[in-house]
Amino acid sequence: MAKTQTKKRKFSVEPWVFIPPLIAVIALVAWVVSNPEGAGAALSNLAFGTICGDFGWFFEWYVFAIVIICVVLCIHPVGKKRFGSEKPEYSTFSWLGMIFTGVAGFGVLTWTSIEWFYYYQAPTEGVEPYSMEALYQATAYPLHHWGFIIFSAATLVAVLFAYQIYCKKVSDVRPSTACVAVLGEKHAKGALGKIIDALLAISILAGIVTAIGVNVPTLFGIISRVFGTQPSFAAQAFVIILWSVVMAILLASGVGKGLKIFSDVRVVIGFGLLIFLLFVGPTSYLLNAFVDNVGVYLNNVLRLTLNTDTFAGSGTPQAWTVFYWCWYLALAFQTGLFFAKISRGRTVRQLVIGALLAQTIGSWLFFGIFMNYSIYIQQTEAVDLANIIATAGQGEAIVSLWDHIPFIKFLYPILMIYGFMSMQTLLNGNVYGMAMVTSKSLGPNDEPPRWNRVFWSLGVGAIAISLLLIGGISAAQSVTIVGSIPAVIVITLMVAAFIKEVRKGWMIRNDKGEVESFEGYQRKEEYVQLDIPEVSEKSAEPAAEIVEEK
Burial class (CB in 10 A: 0-12, 13-18, 19+), 315: middle
Q: What is the pLDDT of residues 381-404, one digit of tens each?
A: 878 999 999 888 898 999 999 999
Contact 342, 98 (CB under 8 A): yes
Look at the alpha carbons of 430, 432, 433, 435 in this order and tell me if their dihedral is positive or negative: positive
Span 116-122, mean pLDDT?
Answer: 96
pLDDT at 244 over 60: yes
Nearest to 444 by CA among 101, 187, 97, 168: 168
List % helix, strand, coil for the chain (3-state, nearest 5). 75, 0, 20
Q: What integer pLDDT is reported at residue 249 of this predicted model?
A: 76
Judged by DSSP in three states, 518 sits in strand
Q: What element of type H or E holds 137?
A: helix 132-145
pLDDT at 191 over 70: yes
- More confident of the two residues 128 and 11: 128
- More confident of the two residues 335 and 229: 335
How far is it, in rounded angstroms, from Cα 107 to Cα 112? 8
Q: Which CATH architecture has domain 7-504?
A: Up-down Bundle (1.20)
How far is it, in rounded angstroms, from Cα 88 to Cα 347? 9
pLDDT at 436 over 60: yes
- One DSSP character per residue, 51-117 reads IIIIHHHHHHHHHHHHHHHHHHHHHSGGGG-BSSSSPPSS-HHHHHHHHHGGG-SHHHHHHHHHHHH
How far is it, in rounded angstroms, from Cα 375 to Cα 137? 13
How far is it, in rounded angstroms, from Cα 23 to Cα 4? 31
pLDDT at 524 over 90: no
Phi, then psi, of 13 in degrees rounded to 5? -125, 160
Look at the alpha carbons of 333, 338, 340, 341 in this order and tell me if their dihedral is positive or negative: positive
Q: What integer pLDDT is reported at residue 86 of this predicted model?
A: 82
Q: What integer pLDDT is reported at residue 440 of this predicted model?
A: 80
Q: What integer pLDDT is reported at residue 334 of this predicted model?
A: 86
Nearest to 332 by CA among 181, 524, 487: 487
Please calculate the CA angle 352-353-356 and round it to the nearest 5 degrees.
85
How far is it, in rounded angstroms, from Cα 543 to Cα 509? 12
Q: What is the pLDDT of residues 280-301, one digit of tens each?
A: 999 999 999 999 999 999 999 9
How far is it, in rounded angstroms, from Cα 517 to Cα 535? 10
Contact 83, 345 (CB under 8 A): yes
Q: For 151-155, 193-197, 469-473, 539-543, which range has the lowest pLDDT when averaged over its residues?
A: 539-543
pLDDT at 200 over 60: yes
Q: For 272-281, 393-402, 420-429, which range has the lowest pLDDT when averaged over its residues?
A: 420-429
pLDDT at 485 over 90: yes
For residue 69, give every residue at least 6 positions away whose Cβ sits within 8 Å of its Cβ, in sequence order, or none.
Answer: 152, 156, 495
How far is it, in rounded angstroms, from Cα 455 to Cα 251? 10
Instruction: Kindly report the number of other CB atoms within 10 A of residue 11's CB atom.
Output: 13
| Identity at 277, one-letter amino acid code | L
pLDDT at 234 over 70: yes
Q: What integer pLDDT is reported at residue 157 of this predicted model?
A: 96
Q: What integer pLDDT is reported at residue 217 of this predicted model?
A: 85
Nearest to 239 by CA among 57, 465, 547: 465
Span 221-238, mean pLDDT?
Answer: 82
- Measured between its terminal Cα atoms, the distance across the chain in Å is 44
Phi, then psi, of 326 in degrees rounded to 5? -60, -45
Q: What element of type H or E holds 173?
A: none
- More confident of the two residues 32 and 133: 133
Where on the phi/psi map is residue 412: left (φ > 0), alpha (ψ -120 to 50), or beta?
alpha
pLDDT at 268 over 70: yes
Span 318-327, mean pLDDT?
Answer: 95
Q: What integer pLDDT is reported at residue 63 of this predicted model?
A: 97
pLDDT at 429 over 80: no
Percent of the chain with pLDDT over 90: 46
Q: What integer pLDDT is reported at residue 542 of this predicted model?
A: 35
Domain range summary for the chain, segments of one domain joined by +: 7-504
- More confident of the two residues 236 and 37: 37
Contact 31, 456 (CB under 8 A): no
Contact 470, 39 (CB under 8 A): yes
pLDDT at 250 over 80: no
How far is it, in rounded angstroms, from Cα 113 to Cα 397? 9
Judged by DSSP in three states, 374 sits in helix
pLDDT at 380 over 80: yes
Q: What integer pLDDT is reported at residue 253 of this predicted model?
A: 66
- More confident of the two residues 521 and 226: 226
pLDDT at 406 over 50: yes
pLDDT at 547 over 80: no
User: Angle, nearest 10°, between helix axes 348-366 and 148-162?
Assistant: 150
- More confident of the two residues 526 and 474: 474
Q: What integer pLDDT is reported at residue 526 of this predicted model?
A: 44
pLDDT at 279 over 90: yes
pLDDT at 519 over 90: no
Span 309-314, mean pLDDT?
Answer: 94
Nearest to 35 by CA among 27, 25, 46: 27
Kindly list the distances between the CA atom of residue 429 and the CA atoms of 65, 207, 246, 247, 336, in Å, as whole numbers in the listed order. Answer: 27, 12, 14, 11, 12
Span 315-327, mean pLDDT?
Answer: 94
Span 136-161, mean pLDDT?
Answer: 96
Q: What element of type H or E holds 319?
A: none
Span 183-194, mean pLDDT?
Answer: 90
Q: What is the pLDDT of residues 66-101, one digit of tens each?
A: 999 999 999 999 999 999 878 898 899 889 988 887
Residues β-bridged to residue 509: 515
| Identity at 17, one-letter amino acid code | V
Contact 352, 73 (CB under 8 A): yes
Q: What integer pLDDT is reported at residue 7 of this predicted model?
A: 43
How far is it, in rounded angstroms, from Cα 410 to Cα 353? 39
Contact 484, 492 (CB under 8 A): no
How far is it, in rounded angstroms, from Cα 456 to Cα 433? 10
For the chain, the average pLDDT equals 84
